[in-house]
Structure 1
Amino acid sequence: MIEVAVSVMITLVCGMAYTGIIILVMVDIIHGSYNMQRKVKALIFVIIVYFIMDSEILNLWYKHVSFSDYLIFYNSRAAGILQSILNIMELVNIVMFILFLIVSLRNQMDETARIMLLNEELTEANIKLEEYSRKSAEMAQMKERNRLAREIHDTIGHALTGIVTGLEACLVIFDLEPSLARKQMEAIQEVARQGMKDVRRSVNALRPDVLEQLTLDAAIERMVDEMCRSTGIRFDYICTDSLSGLDQDEEDIVYRILQESITNSVRHGKPTRINIQIERTGQQLEILIRDNGIGCRDLHKGFGLTHMQERLDMLGGTLSVNGNDGFEVRAEIPLRFHTGEVNVND
């Protein structure tokens, strides 16, 4: 607004004969780094000032000496030169303003074209990324299938072959040499036990990698911290007791339920806050995940909730969800009797 006041003063000094300086103020406002709302208000104000000064409406309240009155004191040649200078300045101002508008419009068109080109490139990159993600998922799925096929062939297949062969031999010698058959049965028993150990090792490879490195408590805290830092969502995590001493399948299910619930909240609920509470009372573990997102009144169980229910069914647990006020997932898991050690051989 200081620029407008200065330009008005200069215009008044010139007897309101030269208003071109106000146009320069318009250029400065258009080119300036004001926000759009402030820029529009300033332009409207300056345009109103320009028309007031140019139409000499101000004469109704403010009497002033016009520029033509000043020219009376000069001879006709000098007065003509001064008037011509004033006209040229007005013309130059108008031409420069028009050129500025043309250049600004051209720059805006170029910027729009550049943004459209970037959007097209971004869309193309997203399509390629989705295709790459799909192929990566297919390759990972195929790799996992191949790994399982190898494990089945090398562990279960080997164990079952030894058991079947041993049983066939026992059937042949059972009546003839019972003591030898007994020794054969003991050997079969050992093969079966070794096969079970091999199967457990294969299944352990399917566990979340973080549970191979950290305790369940530490793994949950890391997951919450990583999601908090990556999404900007506030997490309130409360666990009333240590989760140590759970069997591996119990740890896996607890971790997967939290992981799937947090993922669903972030992906579908658009929350700003997620509360996680884990309470262990006796042989019961209660898990509550609640967010302040948009919720889901018309709830249809998808793959994630169905998969969580299937996992809980394996332990005899229950799952309940509520999408009326935000979204809430409540899981109750009956724990096995633990003495503080995890027995992986049973």
Structure 2
Amino acid sequence: MSSSNDAWLNSAGGWHVGFAVIGLLTAGMAFPLSPPAHEIAAIFLLVVLSGWYAATGAEAIGAGMIRTGPARLGVVYLLGAVPLTLLILWFSSAGALVLFVLYPHIWMMLPTRWAAASTVTTVCAVGAIMVVREGFTPGAVLLVAGISAVCLLLGLGLGAWITRIIRQSTERASTLAELEATRAELAEVSHDAGVLAERERLAREIHDTLAQGFTSMVMMLQALEPEIDTDRAAAQRRRALLEEVARGNLAEARSLVALLTPTHLESAPLAEAVERLVVQVGRELGISATMRLHGERRQLATNHEVVLLRGTQEALANVRKHSGASSVVVELGYERDRVTLEVRDDGKGFDGTEHDGFGLAGMRARVAQVGGTMQLAAPSSGGVSLLVDLPTGGVA
């Protein structure tokens, strides 16, 4: 625990000022209350005490010498300060003022049991000095006893208050240290979570763009080889389409590097971007590919448009790779508070057991991040139907 968090360190300057003020008041009151020889002795001892405080006591307070056991520098200071204070009191009753700083110092620099014992011992010594100074008359003894009792109670009360303040200060410092450690741990956990989330996001982006594009290119290359010898015109068309897909993949790669919006959405609104993907898959596979728009199209939040675009890409990639379909229909519907995307094909479907590869799992995660739902089904009429439903909150 750092001592800089201790309340006593923050108020050390105030304690130094208090000692100086008490010292000046004691010196001023010593002249009218004591014989000349005693005045000189009291002032000399007061100067010695001030020097002792400057050499040891001030450093003890400034360094926050508060421990479960006695602090060495504080003990050294008190071993000199207590006798010097009693001697000042012996030569001048004005020395009693010094007790107002001595008792707090005792409780600040010693643990509770030691401080209580030192306070009782000091009060008894003060009482003895006063009895000797005033004489051993019954009245003087009773007066000194009463004053000593009051001083003892005040000293113990002040000590208890100081001890409580010190304990609260220590507890606050400990709590602050724990909070700082917890904050550091949370920052590290948050950083790790952010790194993991970013890795997952990039993995989904690469799968939904580059990986699908490369898959499409491989399939077109496989279809191109037999067409080179048998149908030159078809091969030329296939080559042009292959070049188009490759350029699109290159643009997507640059977009990922720059962390930009998907290139399809940069050059066209969502509906047009989806239609372009549908037309492209129809040209690649030579099948009927239809895009239907329902409702009045409107600008959506970027993350919603990205989810719908990537969903279209993933669904069409599955049509391209697995379905063997002869037709595919993509429907984009705009409603007041939601937007839907449905992709249906007439392919071979699946056996009723959903097998989420990375693509479907990634799409499901994307949809969930924006509060939407995704359903995958195999209608009795055949093929596969994928439905994405995103809430938009009615914001146009």
* TM-score bin (small chain): 0.3 to 0.5
TM-score by length of 2: 0.35
Which has the larger helix fraction? 2
TM-score by length of 1: 0.39
Larger Rg: 2
